[in-house]
Amino acid sequence: MNMQRISEVVLLVAGFALGLCACHTVKVNKHKPWIETSYHGVITENMDIVQLDPPLVALDKDAPVPYAGEICAFKIHGLEAPFEAVVLNGTSGEGQLRAKGLVDCELQKEYTFIIQAHDCGAGPGGTGGKKSHKAVVHIQVNDVNEFSPVFREAQYHTAVTEGKIYDSILQVEATDQDCSPQYSQICNYQITTTNTPFAIDRNGNIRNTEKLSFEKQQQYEVLVTAFDCGQKRSTESVAVHIDVKPVCKPGWQGWDKRVDYEPGTGSKQLFPKMNLETCGGLLSSVRTTVELQTSHIGKGCDRETYSEKSLQKLCGASSGSTDLLPAPSASTNWTASLVTDSERDSDLIFRFDGRQAAKIPDQVVPQNLTDQFTVATWMKHGPNPGLRAEKETLLCNSDKTEMNRHHYSLYVHNCRLVFLLRRDFIQVDTFRPAEFHWKLDQICDKEWHYYVINVEFPVVTLFVDGVTYDPYLVTDDWPIHPSQIDVQLTVGACWQGGEVTKPRFTQYFRGSLSGLTIRPGKIESQKVISCLQACKEGLDINSLESLGKGIKFHFNPAQSILVMEGEDLENMNAALRKVSYINSRQFPTPGIRHLHISTSVQCFGEDTCIFIPDIDAVVMVLQPSEPRITIAGVDRLTRPAADLRGPAGLTLFQDLHIISTVTKGDTASHHTGRPGVQEEIIHNLDYCDILVLGEELRPEQESLQLQRSTLLGKHLDATNSTSGMSIYGVDSMSNYEQVIRQVYYHNWHPVQTPDRKFRLTCSELNGRYTSNEFTLEISVLHKSEAGEHVNHMVAPSQYMQVVPHLAMVHSLYPTHGPGAPSAATVVIVICIAALVVVVVLGIYRIHLTHQQEGRNSDTTKERELDWDDSALNITVNPMESFQEPQGAEEEASEEDEEDDDEEEDDDITSAESNDSEEEEEVPGALSVKQGSKRGQLDWDNSTLTY
């Protein structure tokens, strides 16, 4: 309170005192106490003293009269306020306002109530006391910062699109339970997570400080804390999750960049979950191209890697073609100087860089090309900038000297294929079709293609990958007049022998060639051409019937490119999910195959439409289970020299067996430690070689032979030399077995030749898989050794056929005992021996007659009955029959017969049993089975030596 007011109070009190003194004797407790009309107080929560303004003081004019002028109490009226007023000094009237208990601002911030002062009355008993007027008290409860901020949410979650800067991605909010604005308001927020591209303002708004990338990070989690205005921090931070969404980009979604393909599983879907995202754009049509790129696999596809000749046999091509680019060898040395690419998994490839060419020897060049012939080749060629005006010659037949006339040639000019055919002058000197031009993208696309030119003059047709193309331009020229000039056929360039000072090559080819052939006199059918270039791998569509009527599709001939078109987006998505990869090779080439998908769309009524990015993926062909080719059989033969001298010779591999196995479960066995399961499989072979080990064969006295009739009906051929025999062609293992079992070794003078060894190996896929090296050793028994074997019952088949019958003759005449034979018995035995000699001579004459008739008759039998006279040196010792008892002779006779029967059964193979002929009855009860024993096989005069 101010000083003036205090002075007034003091004067008033003094006046009251003077009045009381003057009237003391008159009246007691005449006046009521006096207090202020209103009070304002402040109390801090959790405290009990109220600070009042003005202070609580009651005055009474009766002072200093005892009791009447004293203040005895302050009483509170009204609400049940948690306060009480106490008198500190009754004489001065000072009082104090206190809280009865703890005051909580969060429960009630303000209180208002009524207070009155009471004096002590007229006497000590308090009677006659007076009350002051009622004063209003207003009390405010001051807050204490006892609560921490708390976030309204346990965690926050939002999503943003990549590539944008946001002013506010998300707003977090915290609250405080304190009652005052100072402590209940949140004055600040803070991100406690470090190294994040986000910031937050004092209102809780989170923003990104840089552009977010879906590829870099797809989700962020940041922690945020809050502070109230009293700088009290929240007890727990809140987690804020921010997802980064990619910008909606039109394109294909749901596809894998790599698809693994296990060999032998047939067709596999490439994009089973694929769909096209248009970002809300409405499309009127979609066109998608799926391309399988296999240019790094051989000739652009995983074809069977058999030789060109074998493929021609498999496809039924006409015989008589001439290979102008064979593998270099002693007999085909004209390709030795060319650059080859041997890393391919297919036929030999020749690369021409504009500097190499080859002359074809005159004895190899097909002569007298008629009005019908075929030229075929594999070619890989690309554009050559700066050389567009120069011709690039694949094949050229030109004058060797004097002049420079081109009789026929095949060349590329400005990415156009041109075939030149100049006809010879016959009767009429008129223009005739001479140059045939084709303009195709394949000629310069740097990919492998199979080109076939069928000539049926004057019609010339081109096949590229099995598809027919007619020439877009045909030009005429004069015929070539006859001359005595020799011609030169070249590959890779054209020979210029005349009109120049020095003959040279010109018009070099730049590209790759393989399998360049000419077949005179006949053209190939389209079926054969398609077979020769057929691809073993490609694209496929599962369930063509379910594509829907609105989907159009088209495959190229090699099925490496698929084009699909439709108007309905969902139908197109479903169609693309059905596209699959297939590889029908039994042992495909492992590695990657690239996939490229391009898409173009059209929109409704818009000049510009959305752009669909291309897709690049790969098909990974896993390593196939490799076959193990095993050759088994008898690896040592011991035969008398007579077997080798006979016309039939010695069958080398009569007990041969070829099998192939693979180990299944290689991956599982690797992890479990268990061996894989061996399974026998059936596949083709492409060659088997029989190699002579040691000294080569001596042509004047020994050879390997094979009947040509054995090859009939099979895709096999054979070559023969002094170093061995090669059987080649793509055919089954069983057919190879049948042919190899019929290979004979013939030696006219085995005494002069040491024991022979032969090694047999077989191959599949041009040596990609080879068999074990099976070695066969031939031991020759000479005359003394053969006799010793006869005495020990191990005689060759010629002996085994006569001995049983002789034993039967002995048993007809039993001896009288272990002593010396009687003279009669000796005479009888000599007579029987003479009779046997007569019978043998008779059979020999019959054989000579039969052989003479067989030479004059035209028979289709592969083998004729023939008797080998080299095995007829039979010597019967009469004295041997008297050295053992009769029972022993009979037992020996029975054992000889059983051994003879067993040997017959063992010597008959499945191939020979079908060719067995009926027995021919011979006088003297001696019968000979044709084809049942090796030593008695008659050699057909039609047998050819390769």
What pairing do the DSSP bridges indicate for beta strands 561-566 and 552-555? antiparallel
State the pLDDT at residue 144.
86
Rounded-to-integer distance, Cα 917 and Cα 931, Å:
7
Q: How far from each other are the two terminal CA atoms of the chain, in whole angstroms?
A: 143
Amino acid making up residue 203: N
pLDDT tens per residue, range 701-750:
888 999 888 998 888 989 999 999 999 889 999 999 999 999 999 888 87
pLDDT at 223 > cutoff 70: yes
Of the listed ranges 41-55, 355-369, 781-795, 835-849, the least confidently predicted one is 781-795
Higher pLDDT: 897 or 184? It is 184
pLDDT at 121 > cutoff 60: yes
Residue 58: pLDDT band (50, 70, 90) is: very high
Decide: helix, strand or coil at residue 548.
coil
Of the listed ranges 181-195, 478-492, 873-887, the least confidently predicted one is 873-887
pLDDT over 70 percentage in the chain? 76
pLDDT tens per residue, range 5-54:
555 544 554 555 444 444 444 457 888 999 999 999 998 888 889 999 99
Rounded-to-integer distance, Cα 440 and Cα 706, Å:
49
pLDDT at 431 > cutoff 60: yes
Question: Who's near 271: CB < 8 A, 6+ residues apart?
Answer: 252, 254, 255, 256, 576, 577, 579
Rounded-to-integer distance, Cα 507 and Cα 767, Å:
37
Residue 486: pLDDT band (50, 70, 90) is: confident
Q: DSSP label at 123?
A: S
Cα dist from 912 to 185, 416, 858, 860, 862, whole Å: 110, 59, 22, 16, 11
State the pLDDT at residue 826.
59
State the pLDDT at residue 607.
55
pLDDT tens per residue, range 558-592:
888 999 998 888 888 888 999 999 998 888 888 99
457-468: average pLDDT: 88
Partners of 705 in the beta sheet?
Answer: 744
CB 750 within 8 A of CB 644: yes
- Nearest partner of 119 among 63, 87, 71, judged by Cα: 71
Asked if the bond preceding 520 is cis, omega within 30° of 0, the reply is no
Higher pLDDT: 688 or 805? It is 688
Rounded to two decimals, the pTM is: 0.57
pLDDT at 361 > cutoff 70: yes
pLDDT at 905 > cutoff 50: no
State the pLDDT at residue 880.
39
pLDDT at 387 > cutoff 70: no
- Nearest partner of 588 among 298, 244, 784, judged by Cα: 298
Q: DSSP label at 367?
A: P
Residue with tokens 């895709």: 715
pLDDT over 90 percentage in the chain? 30
